[in-house]
Amino acid sequence: MQFVFYNNLKNNFLEIAMKKIIFLFLITIVAFPQTKVEDIKSFTLGNGMKVFVLEDNSIPNVAMYFLYKVGSRNEYPGITGISHFFEHMMFNGAKKYGPKEFDRVMEANGGSNNAYTSQNLTVYQDWFPNQTMEVMFDLEADRIANLNFDSTMIESERGVILSERSTSLENDPMEELWDAVQGAAFFAHPYRWPVIGYESDIKNWTKKDLENYFHMYYAPNNCVVVVVGDVKIDWVKTLAEKYFATISSGQKPRDIHTVEPEQKGEKRVFVKRDVPSPYLLFAYHVPQSGSEEYYSLDLLESILSSGRTSRLYKSIVDDKQLAIDIGTYYGQAFDPTIMMIYAIANQEVNETDLEKAILDEIGRVVKEGITEDELQKVKNQKLMSFYRTIETISGKANTIGTYELFFGDYKKLFSAPEDYNKVTREDIKQVAQKYFIQDNRTVGLLNAEEVEQ
Amino acid sequence: MKKLSLFTIAFFLLLYSSGFGQFQLPEYEKYTLPNGLTLYLMEQHEVPLVYVNAIFPGGAVWDGEQNGLAALTAEALLFGSKNYTKDQIEQNFDFLGASISANAGTEAAEVSISFKKDDFEKLFPIFADVIKNQSFPQVEVEKRKQRWIAELEQDRESPRRVIRNYFNKFVFGDIPYGNPVEGTKKSIEGITSDELRGFFNLHYPLSLGCIAVVGDFNTEEMKAKVESFFPSTPKVDVPLLPRELTKEVDLPFGNRVMLVNKDDSRETTFMIGGKGVAWNNPDIVQIDILNTILGGRFTSWLNTELRINSGLTYGARSGFPHYKYNGTFYAYSFTGTENTVDAIDLTLQVFDRLHKEGINQETLTSAKNYMKGQFPPDYETSGALADLLTTMFFYGLDESYINDFEKNVDAMTVEKAKEIIAKYFPREDLQFVLIGRADEIRDKVTKYGKITEKSIDEDGY
């Protein structure tokens, strides 16, 4: 029942290796069971690029991730969506490897790649057989140091992005509502615009905008590299020195200093679209990743929506048959963000009844708190989902990188079990009481007709 | 693993076919109990988890007149068994952070669980009861049917979610491989608990299925534990194979177009294709290599033309979905309504180019490297290996399927490619399914073939 936005559809039957996607991601963390803190090696190059290495020889392959600290929160009106567009342009030619060469050379060497952009990060992912690692370093170094902006490629990529935006709206009404609710919940902070950008901005940004963006954010000192797989640390170090150390560092990007003012009263949004039954979306302002209340909020989210016995699924979908889908989203974020609760109504279900039923469930957690069993359940779920994540070299690479960035230190992933275990029933009740209040809420409804109030 | 030295590696464009670290199927045990149930056990110790996957011949090809019967039966397995209610099943799995799922696809039904290894005693008995002793409580079945119908309606909001149903029906006609797995509103409405029970009795006898257990355990201990749940019941024999499943796809119609109208579309979603191949086709790896070049990777010809060179779409791909006795070939993409003809023309030009020009050595080598390099990650997790083992059982594959993969890839040549293209990549009798605004595109797409029209709101496909 998890609703993942802009999912990576690479292995889906109908979707092409759809690289260059937008992705709001969520991860859950407890420490690696068979990996110790000292197994993860790291070094920093002279230009400020930080590299993490974890040797894992379960398959003869490597996952290499580049996490740039830039996303749609670094944009402003007029260039919204440019982080994501930039992500696409990183595949469209540099100095040594011209347009189309990056993918051609990588695939000819047995590698594949993808990338995603969120509000906070842009992440490039390479997966390849370990013997071809040097090619991958060469390819990456070329585009980090010498990206080229070919005008023809810019125009054709603009078409690709417009199709990407259009196809997600075509196939998913919730997408349309999501953009509207996000835009209403935030009115000052850059989290208010969609990661993919406004259509008019996509059509109008210029080559100059791209060049400026590149110089501002794509410097080695704004990037964390994670290499996990059948490699030796010394080999990675040698290659990093040879290919990456020579790239000059850039200025520290400007801080995002805009703070979303406190919300003072419920906001409501309506989107008209011809759907068989209404779509509902609630947003509550909550603190960011790594904040003191993060772990309590993360567990609260699981209590609401993780599994068939979760509060919302059990009550709204199974018992009352009011919705055919329900879920929540609390993504990783550098700045204070929102927790989303979404639902698609069952046939003949009135949106008012559905809204009331969901708010009643939330109200119950606020008033009565949760049970000891529920708390233990979500802690068990965190552990299981963590094991599943680290079964793959990709999962490990992503976890190390995002922990380093969102929690300030990859080592925090080793203290995470303790951080989750410390959370009590009282902590969860407190965050529910503090944030699940009407004044802090935005409610979105998408339906064929708006009912007169 | 041999490591190449820093200074001798010649890498800029690898034009020779490389031997990457080869993936071999890990050791496992396979045997059949007196009651006919086949068991696979494979130890994997990287994380303290166990994955169990059971497979039965309970897919939509066996639906008969009641589309969706197989899929609803599979889901309803979790609504309660002889010894556990729906709530008990859900609470036990959820509480331990474990998972249980039951689904049917076109041919097979699968029940899968995963859990922390220490929780075996608490969860495996439930799993065993679920696949052996069903109750199909009517109240739960009716609840699910009602939501199911609402889901079918919502699915029609997403052309990419439903286009395969239209396409399969169009290509297979009355051959059961054209059955929509999720059924139709009308067919789901008519299904009763008794019919689920009847389907279960026919398609889930242990002698027809297999269970694969993969993960962090000791094989000898696990064998004894698992077997204790499946005592020697009499072996039940197989339902007969309906002759229709093996019927060849016959498309003597010339090119045909199915135009599905969706009034509020901003784009046209399309599939173009025809007859494909079955699992046991001896050329399946060779076909896969050529499909990689045509539409199976980012730099494939379709994606290059429709996306990279022209910016008409976010993605284009092709594939050969293969079943036990049948298969299809398709190319798939989507584009703004105004670009419909451009995108389809380009697709057809790419098909033509494949037939006229074939492929060169450089392209073939690249595709071989790509397939070999991307192969090991497909089998990285215990869950993926459990899936693999049940797939091998269901389709009668042996280890050579994995272990000879690289050898089979290497055996492909440019000359052989010509034969494969001519033999398997459809060029005539192409079937087009287009979902979009019919009034905007109708006149322009008549050139592709005889048009049949539907509205996306109509029940069925």
In SS3 terms, A5-73 reads as: CCCCCCCCCCCCCCCCEECCCCCCCCCCCCCCHHHCEEEECCCCCEEEEEECCCCCEEEEEEEECCCHH
Please give the DSSP secondary-structure letter assigned to residue B85.
B
What average pLDDT does this structure show over A30-44? 78
pLDDT digits (tens, 9 = 90+) for A75-95: 999 999 999 999 999 999 999
- Residues of chain A contacting residue B156, judged by C-beta atoms under 8 Å apart: 276
Nearest Cα neighbor of B187 from B41, B67, B313 is: B67
The tokens describing A408, both together, are: 């300030």
CB neighbours (10 Å) of residue A134?
18
CATH architecture designation of domain A267-447: 2-Layer Sandwich (3.30)
| Nearest alpha-carbon partner for A106 in A73, A76, A128 | A128
Q: With bands split at pLDDT 50, 70 and 90, how would you rate the model's confidence at A14?
A: very low
Closest CA to B275 of B175, B143, B395, B404: B175
pLDDT band, residue B239 (cuts 50/70/90): low
Choose among B401, B373, B367: nearest CA to B282. Answer: B401
Give the model's confidence band at A453: pLDDT under 50 very low, under 70 low, under 90 confident, else very high. Answer: low
Of the candidates B55, B70, B296, B319, the residue with the CA atom closest to the CA atom of residue B177: B70
> Does B221 or A33 have the greater pLDDT score?
B221
Residues shown for chain A: 453
Q: What pLDDT digit, counting tens, does each position of A328-356 carry?
A: 999 999 999 999 999 999 999 999 999 99
Average pLDDT over every residue of B22-34: 92
Amino acid at B81: S
List Cβ neighbours of A208 (8 Å cut-off, separation of 6 or more).
none
CB-based contact A120:A288 (threshold 8 Å): no
| DSSP-derived 3-state class of residue B408 | helix
3-state secondary structure of B354: helix
Min Cα separation B35/chain A (Å): 34
Task: Enumerate residues 75 to 104 of chain A having a beta carbon within 8 A of any beta carbon in chain B.
Answer: 100, 103-104
Q: What does the alpha-carbon distance between residue B330 and residue B430 come to, in Å, rounded to a whole number? A: 9
The answer to whether A157 and A207 have CB atoms below 8 angstroms apart is no
From A188's Cα to the closest Cα of chain B, the distance in A is 31
Q: What is the pLDDT of residue A197?
A: 96
- Radius of gyration in angstroms for the set of CA atoms belonging to chain A, rounded to a whole number: 22
Q: Between chain A and chain B, how many beta carbons pairs sit less than 8 Å apart? A: 269
pLDDT recorded at residue B238: 62
Q: Which of A46-55, B12-21, B166-175 has the lowest mean pLDDT?
A: B12-21
Q: What is the reported pLDDT for B19? A: 60
Contact A178, A281 (CB under 8 A): yes
Give start-end residues of each CATH 3.30.830.10 domain in chain B: 29-240, 248-455
* B366/A107 Cβ within 8 A: yes
In Å, how far from its chain's centre is CA A359?
26
Judge whether A21-243 and A267-447 match in fold: yes
Contact: B334, A170; criterion CB under 8 Å: yes
Q: Is B28 left (phi over 0), alpha (psi -120 to 50) or beta?
A: beta
Report helix, strand or coil for B277: coil
Cβ contacts of B314 on chain A, cutoff 8 Å: 16, 18, 160, 163-164, 167
Is the domain spanning A21-243 CATH 3.40.50.620? The answer is: no
Closest Cα of chain A to B236: distance in Å? 34
User: Which tokens hold the place of A285?
Assistant: 């302002």
Output the average pLDDT for chain B: 93
Q: Which pTM was predicted? A: 0.92
Minimal C-alpha gap between A265 and chain B (Å): 33
Give the pLDDT score at A15.
Answer: 37
- How far is residue A32's CA from residue A29's CA, in Å, rounded to a whole number? 9
Task: Report the residue from B18, B160, B313 with minimal CB separation from A163.
Answer: B313
Give the pLDDT score at A34: 66
Is it the case that residue A5 has pLDDT exceeding 80? no
Strands B267-275 and B431-436 turn out to be antiparallel
Q: Would you state the pLDDT for residue A441?
A: 98
DSSP string across B147-171: HHHHHHHHHTT-HHHHHHHHHHHHH
**What is the pLDDT of chain A when averaged over all its residues?**
91
Cβ contact, residue pair B373, A128, below 8 Å: yes
* Chain B interface includes A318 (CB < 8 A): yes
Q: Of chain A residues 241-260, which have a CB less than 8 A from chain B?
A: 242
Q: State the Cα–Cα distance between residues A40 and A23, nearest whole angstrom.
A: 26
Percent of chain B with pLDDT over 90: 88
Cβ B269–A170 below 8 Å, yes or no? yes
At B252 the pLDDT is 76
Q: How confident is the model at residue B4 (pLDDT cuts 50, 70, 90)?
A: very low
Mean pLDDT across B132-146: 96
B-chain CB neighbours of A110 within 8 Å are: 18, 20, 369-370, 372-374
How confident is the model at residue A36, as a pLDDT?
A: 80
For tokens 């951080």, the residue is: A419
Q: What is the pLDDT of residue A418?
A: 82
Nearest to B372 among A110, A138, A166 (CB): A110
Q: What is the mean pLDDT of residues B179-184?
A: 97
Q: Is A17 on the interface with B (CB under 8 A)?
A: yes
User: Any chain B CB within 8 A of the CB of A169?
Assistant: yes
Q: What percent of chain A has pLDDT over 90?
A: 83
The C-alpha torsion from B6 through B9 and B10 to B16, rounded to 10°, is -160
**pLDDT band, residue B251 (cuts 50/70/90):** confident
Is the torsion defined by CA of B373, B379, B384, B386 positive or negative? positive
pLDDT digits over B331-383, tens only?
Answer: 999 999 999 999 999 999 999 999 999 999 999 999 999 999 999 999 999 99
Nearest CB partner across the interface for B297, out of A107, A377, A390: A107
Q: Please, which residues bridge with residue A442 across strands?
A: A267, A283
What pairing do the DSSP bridges indicate for beta strands A279-286 and A337-345?
Answer: antiparallel
**What residue of A is the nearest CA neighbor of B365?**
A108
The topology under which CATH files domain B248-455 is: Cytochrome Bc1 Complex; Chain A, domain 1 (3.30.830)
Q: What does DSSP assign to residue A118? A: -
- On chain A, the residues whose CB falls within 8 A of the CB of B302 are 16
Contact assessment for residue A315 and residue A308, using Cβ atoms and an 8 Å cutoff: no
pLDDT at A382 over 80: yes
Residue B163: closest C-alpha in chain A: A14
pLDDT higher than threshold 70 for residue A27: no
Domain B29-240 has CATH 3.30.70.20: no
Q: DSSP string of A330-355?
A: ----SS-EEEEEEEEEPTT--HHHHH
Is A164's Cβ below 8 Å from some Cβ in B? yes
Phi first, then psi: give them for residue B110, nearest 5 degrees.
-135, 140
Partners of A444 in beta bridges: A269, A281
pLDDT value at B15 more than 80: no
Domain ranges of chain A: 21-243, 267-447
Q: pLDDT tens digits for A195-221? A: 999 999 999 999 999 999 988 999 999
Beta bridge partners of A450: none
Q: Is the pLDDT of residue B44 over 70?
A: yes
Could you tell me which chain A residue has the CA closest to the CA of B370? A110
What's residue B173's pLDDT?
Answer: 93
What pLDDT sits at residue A452? 66
Residue A5 and residue A62: Cα distance in Å, rounded?
A: 26
Assess A58–B contact: CB distance below 8 Å, yes or no.
Answer: yes
Total residue length of chain B: 461
In the prediction, which pLDDT does A115 show? 95
Q: Is A150 on the interface with B (CB under 8 A)?
A: no
Cβ of B303 within 8 Å of Cβ of A134? The answer is no
Q: State how far the Cα of B389 lies from the Cα of B400, in Å rounded to an integer.
A: 13
**Cα–Cα distance, A446 to A452 (Å, whole number):** 14
Please tell me the predicted confidence (pLDDT) of residue B246. 81
Please give the angle made by the CA atoms of B358, B360 and B363, to the nearest 5 degrees.
Answer: 110
pLDDT higher than threshold 60 for residue A28: no
Q: Does A376 touch chain B (CB under 8 A)?
A: yes
Cβ contact, residue pair B98, A170, below 8 Å: no
- Cβ–Cβ of A129/B20 closer than 8 Å? yes
* C-alpha span between B217 and A347 (Å, rounded): 46
- Hey, is B268 helix, strand or coil? strand
Token look-up 């969102």 returns: A406
Q: Is A267 on the interface with B (CB under 8 A)?
A: no
With CA atoms as reference, the chain B residue closest to A56 would be B46
A window 397-436, beta carbon within 8 A of B: none
pLDDT at B302 (0 to 100): 98
What is the residue-wise DSSP string for B280-301? T-TTHHHHHHHHHHHHSSTTSH
Residue B12 has pLDDT above 90, yes or no: no
Find the mean pLDDT for residues A115-137: 97
Provide the terminal-to-terminal Cα distance of chain A, rounded to the nearest Å: 32
pLDDT tens digits for range B269-310: 999 999 999 999 999 999 999 999 999 999 999 999 999 999
Residue A371 has pLDDT above 60, yes or no: yes
How confident is the model over B337-351, as pLDDT tens digits? 999 999 999 999 999
Distances (CA, A) of A330 to A372, A375, A437: 23, 18, 17
